[in-house]
Structure 1
């Protein structure tokens, strides 16, 4: 998963991770400062816990609890910062094709929908916080309500920001018309509620599928698409109190495993700011740059290694492309081919630890993160080989005129410079895979290591840039975690309908057994990867699909590798895949030009995926 901001393409608005953050409004400056302090506090507490446990053999019992409190507040303040900066992930494919006046109205209607969702749910968030005040935490002995109050505060801040946006950018007539339409829809649904309650599973299609898809087409951020669809489903087809939805959002955002998400996001920012990734690229170029397809190998190898530091596809691409594309152009590589290799290489690298998608999958599906990290490394190697073979075939006519092998002295020089950066991904993988530390503990150690090494050996980071990185991390983490929270609420609503049991029965009786189920899973997750990106698809479907896979005798790790790879391929597949457009933006190449070139590389990934699905050994050999 990507971890911070690139400007939107014409088709998509995505969280930016490029090199400039979108500045927030003056009103949000105090909130940004609080979020930055919370992030520092989380890292400090986690590091203190690690040092106390491993060096003094004296665990600090309150660290996890205090970190959990700070984490939820960081996440909810981050959602407000992301809203202020327009960094919540959303699909704008259909909006971009509308006439300007119609687009303005649809944009306003989408904001009104978001505001309505927050207005309806905010009292229940307050009710949830008040109810949790009666429960006392075990370690700190304080009311749990202090922690969950963050949900109500974050919703209130987002609502205020949406109202300000409507006041500043929307026409009054559009606001009034949008409000009238929303009220009319709610009135009709309320009137039809008795009938809807008798429709059973059809409500899943009407609300959880149709409602979410309609909101997505209107350009509503993905997190709100899930939230609005679930809210409508619960309000008009069940008698479930809406405070339960708030509790499910809390549960989806609050797993201790997810504490590593903002820390790895920050690690990606440090990687960009210090140039550690570029040092790795330069080292690989000195080794392989003189052979045919050498720069393609360097690009793929750099993505493979750099992803182990940043855990972010966008950060990977933004680090590798500027360092390699000029030389690749000089050697005759077409820009469209370079973008195709960049996009599919980033898809290949997303199973390389510390993949945020793998961390989230381990959290929601109850799968060992250490095992996922070990298997993910092997799976990425399979895909890397598939892409490298195709790259070598494509480079058979590459011009090598004037290309010389780097001298031993040059290789040694860049190797010494890259060594501290090269060590980091292996520290992360080995520590988690061996069980020496959790993903959360490793993430904090990696941040400290990267920060110190970056300051000492790679030119340092200015205080202003450090603060900017902290705020960027809070915004991106909030955007990610809100998606996880609302997707968890929708997944819970799905399971309450009994849909999971019906799907399990249907899947269990498929002709062809487990492999047919694998093929259907591949198609489903590729499609969802195109539309939703990886994390929401994981949270939505993992609770449903994993029990079916287990019932069919499929190993959890094997199934995890198949669906994560399928989602990554979908993410990079045009014409909808979000990652494809990010790659085009990073490489400054027209999507229309790159779209033709990418299909052979997508084909290579699909062949690799089918091999991974058919042969469990690839996923399980090193466990």
Structure 2
């Protein structure tokens, strides 16, 4: 009897495993089909944006016949690119999230909170899908001025993208956790939302204490539990608006649309694509090779090369991940052979990532221009020297650490080798100057100039470096769409959240508090530095800027701080927070690219971060460093 019962249990278990396997196989097939359906148009949209903006430059500057519809068409395609890119990023699990705390839990709890993160994102999408449809339906009555078509053609991207993300999220949820665990995560999130809904009458009587509940405790809890930042912002904003105000939920979608549709942000996907092209064509490797020949024989020489290479490459790509991925593989093997410790390598790579945050065309610079109205050309000019100041600080630490390095087995490159490598690297070194000159001379706007960089890189890759892998082009376009979608969804959600904060009166209260701080400008700058270091470590640069830039920049002007100077200070402060462990996401990205364990770099990075902080203090104290060349 017992044997029969045991055989029945085994048979039942086999049936469960077979059913789970069939569900997993179905989920895999659905996911693969959906990927093809979304990734192809997303890649084509990236390509279309390059073509449309390039046509705008050629017709206006070359033929002196501006295309009045080019910017409008680019804007329509851009929102579709942002939403489809968000779907691709959601499918890949690439939406920005903080995993420092969840990553320290036991594997079973890590898996559970990963499912909760997906379920929370699904909850937000389910809550806004109907308001998004209503918003798009309302836009049918608005006609675009140049193309003269209903604006619903553009606004429809929001409900379509949200619906596709919902489908993608459900597939990921059940594929990752199975039926029981997926339902547990969904029920857990639904229970929390239900409790918040039931407490709505209580919230309505709390006044501005709701800001603390929703935007500090609520957002903080979700971010630390690993919910993607964009969805954390979205859920908190939706909860605050629906439970404490009479504002319709459709307004949230409208604010998201406004944040994601700013024409300046068109530069984001194009500079991301440019960074990938730089790596693929070998231009970054050529620059690194020249610097290695020039300084490789000096004590700590390759560390100086790393600092210089990150400076040059950052001026091209605008993407920190692309920067590090281009430089680290070219330098780290030789640095290891010379005895450099892995921890010191990843520590310096992280520090240089923070150092180069102000170098144009940084995506953070473009975001600041978008949300605060500061001139992009002025930001591009003002960002060069602050990074040099921080680089000098890093170089001093390198000199101290490597002052006794043994170079007996290191061969010094001949002047001929240096000259040849310089000639090879010259087209790559010239690219940042071409980009900046195009903006300053008025050939292209900050939005369009990336297309000039892309054209330059493609020509250089095909004709000069003879390295252009056509097979990699499609994956690069898809990667560009995914990263851009993740960034732009954060900007959209943060814009809605910033609007809610402004409507509550928080911005005016914050302005009064900051203005009344004793010590005037000095205290204001010191508080800003500490605040943005913390914000950079938790929220990363872009959402922090979108949230607090519109609030703090007017105050900076009122206390007499130049807006470009203030931009440099807050960007560098956020960079330090972003790349400083234990919370800095950028530090873990550097570890992943270097394939070095995070704990190895914890101690070596302290010296570099101290040098960065000293450099930041110098930049904050001497405005000329930021505005001297404007």
2:260 paired with 1:250: no
The answer to whether the 8 Å contact 1:262/1:473 transfers is yes
Q: Which residue, out of 47, 64, 68, partners 1:57?
A: 64
2:96 paired with 1:104: no
CA-CA distance at 1:531 after TM superposition:
1.2
Flag the 1:25–1:87 CA change in 2: closer, same or farther, 3 A: farther
2:208 paired with 1:201: yes
Q: Which residue, out of 76, 93, 102, partners 1:69?
A: 76
Q: TM-score, normalised by structure 2?
A: 0.93
Aligned equivalents of 1:320 and 1:54: distance in 2? 35
CA-CA distance at 1:170 after TM superposition:
2.5
Aligned equivalents of 1:408 and 1:176: distance in 2? 67
* 1:73-92 alignment runs, 5 A limit: 73-92=80-99
Aligned equivalents of 1:151 and 1:30: distance in 2? 17
Deviations 1:324-355 (A, max 9, x none): 12222233322212221111112111211111
Q: How many residues align?
A: 601
1:4 matched residue in structure 2 = none
2:181 paired with 1:174: yes
Aligned equivalents of 2:187 and 2:339: distance in 1? 58
Q: Which residue, out of 439, 450, 458, partners 2:465?
A: 458
The answer to whether the 8 Å contact 2:123/2:190 transfers is no
Aligned equivalents of 1:403 and 1:463: distance in 2? 38
2:562 matched residue in structure 1 = 555
Listed as ranges, the gaps of 5+ residues in structure 1 are 1-23
1:571 matched residue in structure 2 = 578
Q: Which residue, out of 453, 463, 476, partners 2:483?
A: 476
CA-CA distance at 1:434 after TM superposition:
4.2
Q: Which residue, out of 398, 423, 441, partners 1:391?
A: 398
Of 323-332 and 290-299, deviating more is 323-332
Aligned equivalents of 1:234 and 1:148: distance in 2? 22
CA-CA distance at 1:297 after TM superposition:
1.3
2:125 paired with 1:114: no
Aligned equivalents of 2:375 and 2:455: distance in 1? 25
Aligned equivalents of 2:425 and 2:189: distance in 1? 57
Aligned equivalents of 1:39 and 1:593: distance in 2? 39
User: Quick check: which has more Rg, 1 or 2?
Assistant: 2
The answer to whether the 8 Å contact 2:374/2:563 transfers is yes
Listed as ranges, the gaps of 5+ residues in structure 2 are 1-30
Deviations 1:406-442 (A, max 9, x none): 2222112111211111110111122224444211221
2:126 paired with 1:146: no
2:363 paired with 1:356: yes
2:246 paired with 1:239: yes
Q: Which residue, out of 444, 461, 464, partners 2:451?
A: 444
The answer to whether the 8 Å contact 1:353/1:428 transfers is no
Moved beyond 4 Å, runs of 4+: none
Aligned equivalents of 2:336 and 2:113: distance in 1? 42
2:351 paired with 1:344: yes
CA root-mean-square deviation: 1.5
Aligned equivalents of 2:310 and 2:192: distance in 1? 48
1:496 matched residue in structure 2 = 503
The answer to whether the 8 Å contact 1:25/1:84 transfers is no
Flag the 1:103–1:561 CA change in 2: closer, same or farther, 3 A: same
1:302 matched residue in structure 2 = 309
